[in-house]
């Protein structure tokens, strides 16, 4: 393989991650995302291996890389799907950091996943805000195991 072509392709994937972050920031209502920039974006291959990431929050990106392979393998994927999770036992960080995963298809072939993880202000803890004083993880808020948020482009209710 030509090293110049590999470098160009790598830069393009990183630019995709940067653009994902710019769009997320621009559409966010949350000051955690819009103002504090507490989010991260990455692209993974179809097996859940990290391909590219933006220069966002290192702890998000490091833990995301460990989580993706098992989450990708455990779910059925169709075009238009989105899976949401925040479970720290499955590679999350803490409960307010919610991850959204969407598959990318070319034709009918799954080729990659686009992923973002963003810090949300309230995840249902007994105290307002995103960092309650807790004795157990169950007091911190809602644990979201990997679940489809969208299936084939429609909300999964």
Q: Domains of the chain: which residue ranges?
A: 3-155
- The confidence score (pLDDT) of residue 10 equals 92
Element (H, E) at 9: helix 3-27
Give dist(CA 145, CA 86) in Å, integer. Answer: 7
- The CA-based angle 22-26-29, given to 5 degrees, is 135
pLDDT tens digit string along 22-77?
Answer: 999 999 999 989 999 999 999 999 999 999 998 877 777 778 878 899 999 999 99
Q: Give, in words, the CATH class of 3-155.
A: alpha beta
pTM for the whole structure = 0.91
Question: Where does 47-104 have alpha helices with state H?
Answer: 58-74
pLDDT tens digit string along 105-115?
Answer: 999 999 999 99
């Amino acid at each position: 393989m030509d090293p110049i072509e590999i470098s160009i392709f790598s830069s393009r994937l990183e630019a995709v991650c940067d653009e994902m972050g710019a769009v997320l920031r621009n559409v966010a209502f949350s000051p955690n995302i819009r103002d504090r920039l507490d989010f991260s974006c990455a692209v993974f291959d179809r097996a859940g291996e990290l391909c590219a990431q933006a220069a966002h929050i290192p702890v998000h990106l490091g833990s995301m890389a460990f989580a993706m392979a098992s989450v990708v393998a455990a779910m059925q994927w169709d075009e238009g799907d989105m899976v949401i999770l925040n479970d720290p036992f499955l590679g999350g960080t803490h409960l307010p950091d919610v991850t959204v995963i969407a598959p990318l298809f070319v034709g009918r072939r799954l080729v990659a996943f686009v992923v973002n993880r963003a810090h949300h202000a309230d995840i249902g803890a007994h105290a307002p805000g995103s960092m309650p004083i807790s004795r157990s993880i169950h007091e911190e808020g809602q644990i979201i195991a990997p679940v489809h948020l969208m299936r084939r482009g429609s909300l999964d209710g």
